[in-house]
Chains A and B, each alone.
Chain A
């Protein structure tokens, strides 16, 4: 298995532009999580899905952030418009179920830089 796949690995954009981050979870996993990592705030959960349905988006910082999971093998995190303070590494993780003792497998992350 290739593990969780994220694209792009690096994204540099200008303030005001739309950014779309992509994630392919491990095949057969029903739960998907989006995290953001910065030096100041560490690793923060943004939103998570179960069976393609968003369960909790309380971690999404602002309305500029949105996430979708149109099918079991694909999810997107969109920022529109982007701002410099959105610069961070964004991780996607998947697990076989929402049960917290089911290991979350993390992707390699997308490093976003907003100029």
Chain B
């Protein structure tokens, strides 16, 4: 999801369903990607990462998919729970010795109990 102006894209999901959050990244040279979760009033928290030599990586209830052809990243959350309600950001690292992360604008996930 891309941000437009002041409004974050929002995804509403029923508790127990799977969630898919999308991110379009900007630089074809980026070689490392991270998904962060940010709950209200807190700082971002690392969820899962993936390197550009992979197209899929799984964690606990989360899966990240990377499509380098179209510069697209997605985060899948299985069996979404109320505690998953947060804003989710993707971040990319440009590689080539860069230590910086460039963050996307975020997607707000709301879980309906």
Interface segment among B9-17, B44-52, B59-67: the answer is B44-52
Assembled-state Cα–Cα distance A69/B49 (Å): 29
Complex contact B99–A42 (CB within 8 A): no
Assembled-state Cα–Cα distance A44/B102 (Å): 7
Residue ID in chain B nearest A97 by CB atoms: B99
CB-CB under 8 A for A42 and B101, given A93-B43, A104-B46, A108-B42? no
* Contacts across chains A and B counted by CB atoms under 8 Å: 52
Residue ID in chain B nearest A4 by CB atoms: B43
Whether, in the assembled complex, B70 has its beta carbon less than 8 Å from a beta carbon of chain A, the answer is no
**Digit string of A43-71 for contact with B (CB within 8 Å is 1, else 0)?**
11100100000011000000000000000
Whether, in the assembled complex, B93 has its beta carbon less than 8 Å from a beta carbon of chain A, the answer is yes
Assembled-state Cα–Cα distance A39/B9 (Å): 12
Assembled-state Cα–Cα distance A56/B98 (Å): 10
Complex contact A40–B99 (CB within 8 A): no
Complex contact A40–B43 (CB within 8 A): no
Whether, in the assembled complex, A34 has its beta carbon less than 8 Å from a beta carbon of chain B, the answer is no
Whether, in the assembled complex, A98 has its beta carbon less than 8 Å from a beta carbon of chain B, the answer is yes
Complex contact B46–A101 (CB within 8 A): no
Assembled-state Cα–Cα distance A44/B44 (Å): 13
Chain B nearest CB: distance from A25 CB in Å? 13
Partner of B6, one of A31, A40, A99: A40
Partner of B104, one of A4, A42, A48: A42
**Digit string of B17-55 for contact with A (CB within 8 Å is 1, else 0)?**
000000000000000100000000111111001010000
Assembled-state Cα–Cα distance A106/B105 (Å): 17
Whether, in the assembled complex, B5 has its beta carbon less than 8 Å from a beta carbon of chain A, the answer is yes
Whether, in the assembled complex, A103 has its beta carbon less than 8 Å from a beta carbon of chain B, the answer is yes
Complex contact A91–B5 (CB within 8 A): no
CB-CB under 8 A for A91 and B46, given A40-B5, A42-B103, A101-B32? no
- 8 A-B pairs within 8 Å (CB atoms) are namely A31-B99, A42-B106, A45-B101, A56-B99, A91-B44, A100-B32, A104-B101, A109-B42
